[in-house]
Structure 1
Amino acid sequence: MSTATDGLDLDVGFTLGLDLPFAESVAFAAREGFDFVELLLDARYARERIEDRAAELRETLSTYDCGVVVHLPFAVDPGSPFEPVRAGAVEELTLGMDLAGDLGADRVVFHPSSDAWSKGWDTTATRAFVHDSLDELLPAANDRGLEPCLENIVSSYYDATTFDELLSRYPDAQMTFDTSHALLAGQSEAEMADFLREHSNRVAHLHLVDTRGDSDEHLPVGMGVIDFERVLEPLVECGWEGTATLEIGTEDYATIALGKENLEGVVEGA
């Protein structure tokens, strides 16, 4: 475990996406003491572009003793009101799970979201579309030995303020808690802490993302306005163990390393 106190034990990783080269990034992760990379299956790492390289990528991870969490593509729409589109999203996300298993991942992150036109579809309808897809996706993940970690989002119904409804509906699902998404949905740090205190047994994965508060900027910890010591306090109190991704929107390794350094300072002070 790369970042730990008596009460909080984190495996820490960073998002591998954009134009970050795979082998170079995994080598950097190992050198800097990261435990894993979170591979976003989009852009240069879209499933169709890399699935024939799965053995090669897994070997690279093994060479550097680096784990992997897979973030399924968020550009697909599991909450589409159009059944063929929704079915296609379920198919793509399920194929992404197959690839995640081939890479050696044990958990997948995805968005329980709907891009349906708000003027035409109310939240009751869009939630039903999302549920229709999750009823297939969650068993698909479990059948593949993967832990499905649904993420609180901003631009659809299941943000941090309503996410407990989803956890109640799917008692076997786990959660990815995203700090920037929570702030932008209107949660204060105290409210984030209350949520984590109440649902610590359902949160398996964290996206520790900072922002200056106006948009989802994907900044390193310590470069925005979020008080991470306050947010993480209940997890320290309960001795939480899990994975935490620095979901930083950059290709600059020095900035990623700074995020890890800042997180270590937060954890030591918690």
Structure 2
Amino acid sequence: MSPDTSHTNLRLGYGTNGLTDLRLDDALALLADLGYDGVGLTLDHMHLDPLAPDLAARTRHVAKRLGELGLGVTIETGARYVLDPRRKHGPSLLDPDPDGRAARTDLLITAVRVAADLGAHAVHCFSGITPADTLTDTAWKRLEGSLTPVLDTATDAGTPLAVEPEPGHLLATLADFHHLRGLLGDPEPLGLTLDIGHCQCLEPDAPADCVRNAAPWLRHVQIEDMRRGVHEHLPFGDGEIDFPPVLEALAATGYQGLTVVELPRHSHAGPELARESIEFLRTQVPPKGVPAW
């Protein structure tokens, strides 16, 4: 029997980057059966490959399947080797080679178009690591230039672009996100992906305070357990996060998107962890009607 999800404001999802051993149709059916509200769909060679032929037709099939299963979707773009089979996450938006940066920009533009066709609530992305021998100001200028065409496409599509602060990247913190907003002139489609584990890992504020501070820009949420100072995505209960205050803060923001479990290194146990994760979160979430802070 699927868990009862009617008692919570939050819409829970699970990331396909944690289900890479499953065919996409099987992964979607699993999540629907477990009671998830949606899916964080990482465009990758095994799941709606953004570079393979007949993308439009394959996207229509996924849209139909999502509709049949009643699943919402957000598009994630963190596939490790989708552009370069030898460089993890390469090339990035900060690549020294303009052609490399353009390839990443084109991938994100494709992701925005796929997201629009699927009715996704946002497209996730991140900056990448600053290349060796690259000045910080130069890296920020590259990021600004690389994202501008993506934001133009997002504006036309009516689909937010949700940038994720990622430990070790140029854009690593909430403060860095606001720096990017300033560089770009605070464009309307630019939003934030907030990873709760990353808040625990390196933000100066507690995760619940990060949620409250990020609320006006929140377009996508990822969630997992984590320890302070260690960037390792952990199953719930294996880290240090106190989840009820985090989820109460998130519910109080009125955020309407998906809160997606992010366990990309646990695909070997994906189906079982998907079950355990939703069971854990159902014991932590506040009831509907939580008063706004």
What is the TM-score with the length of structure 1 in the denominator? Answer: 0.86
Equivalent residue, structure 1, for 2:51: 48
* Code of the aligned partner of 1:97: V
User: Residue 102 of structure 2 corresponds to which residue in structure 1?
Assistant: 87
Root mean square deviation of aligned Cα: 2.5
Which ranges in structure 1 are unaligned for 5 or more consecutive residues?
A: none
**Following the alignment from structure 1 to structure 2, what is the Cα–Cα distance between the partners of residues 259 and 192?**
19
User: Match of 1:235?
Assistant: 250
Deviation for aligned residue 1:71: 0.5
For residue 255 of structure 1, the aligned residue among 273, 284, 288 is 273
Alignment of 1:11-30 (within 5 A): 11-17=11-17, 18-30=20-32
8 Å Cα contact 2:13-2:40 kept in structure 1: yes
Q: What is the CA-CA distance between 1:202 and the residue it aligns to?
A: 0.8
Match of 1:197 among 212, 226, 237: 212
Tell me the equivalent position of 2:74: 69
Q: Describe the SS at the equivalent of 1:206.
A: strand
Amino acid corresponding to residue 68 of structure 2 in structure 1:
T
Figure out how many residues of one structure are paired with residues of the other and give that number.
263
Q: Deviations over 1:2-57 (max 9, x none)?
A: 3754xxx2111101132221111111111111111111112412312472522222
Q: In structure 2, give the amino acid aligned to 1:66.
A: L
Q: Do residues 131 (structure 1) and 131 (structure 2) align?
A: no
Relative to structure 1, is the Cα distance of residues 132 and 187 closer, same or farther in structure 2, using a 3 angstrom cutoff? same
Residue 149 of structure 1 deviates from its aligned partner by 1.0
CA contact (8 A) 2:200 2:228 kept: yes
Specify the alignment match of 2:165 in structure 1. Answer: 152
Partner of 1:32: 34
TM-score (norm 2): 0.80
Tell whether 2:196 aligns with 1:179: yes
1:112 match: secondary structure: coil
Structure 1 match to 2:85: none
Other structure's SS at 1:34 match: coil
SS in 2 for 1:201: helix
Please say if residues 149 and 205 of structure 1, whose CA atoms lie closer than 8 Å, have aligned partners that are also in contact: yes
Mapped to 2, the partners of 1:99 and 1:181 lie a distance apart of 27
Partner residue, 1:268: 286
- Further displaced range: 151-160 or 213-222: 213-222
* Alpha carbons 1:212, 1:224 under 8 Å: kept: yes
Give the counterpart letter for 2:40 in structure 1. Answer: E
Q: Distance in 1 between matches of 2:199 and 2:208?
A: 11
Whole-angstrom CA distance in 1 between matches of 2:226 and 2:209: 20
Residue 125 (structure 2) aligns with: 110
1:255 to 1:73, Cα distance in 2 relative to 1, 3 A: closer
Task: State the shift of 1:114 in Å.
Answer: 4.0
Q: Which amino acid aligns with 2:14?
A: F
Residue 181 of structure 1 deviates from its aligned partner by 2.2
Identity %: 25
Q: CA deviation at 1:235?
A: 3.0
Kept after mapping to 2: 8 A contact 1:153/1:182: no
Offset of 1:73 from its aligned partner? Answer: 3.8
2:10–2:251: 8 Å Cα contact kept in structure 1?
A: no
- The answer to whether the 8 A contact 1:159-1:182 is kept is no
Q: Partner amino acid for 2:127?
A: P
**Aligned: 1:166 with 2:184:** no
How has the CA–CA distance of structure 1 residues 111 and 32 changed in structure 2, closer, same or farther, with 3 Å as cutoff?
same
User: Residues of 2 paired with 1:217 and 1:2: CA distance?
Assistant: 28
Q: 1:231 to 1:171 in 2, by over 3 A?
A: farther
Judging changes above 3 Å, is the alpha-carbon distance between structure 1 residues 235 and 180 closer, same or farther for their aligned structure 2 residues?
A: closer
Once the two structures are TM-superposed, the CA of residue 167 in structure 1 deviates from its matched residue by: 3.7
Q: CA deviation at 1:79?
A: 1.6
Q: Which runs of 5+ in 2 are unaligned?
A: 80-88
Residue among 50, 53, 62 paired with 1:57: 62
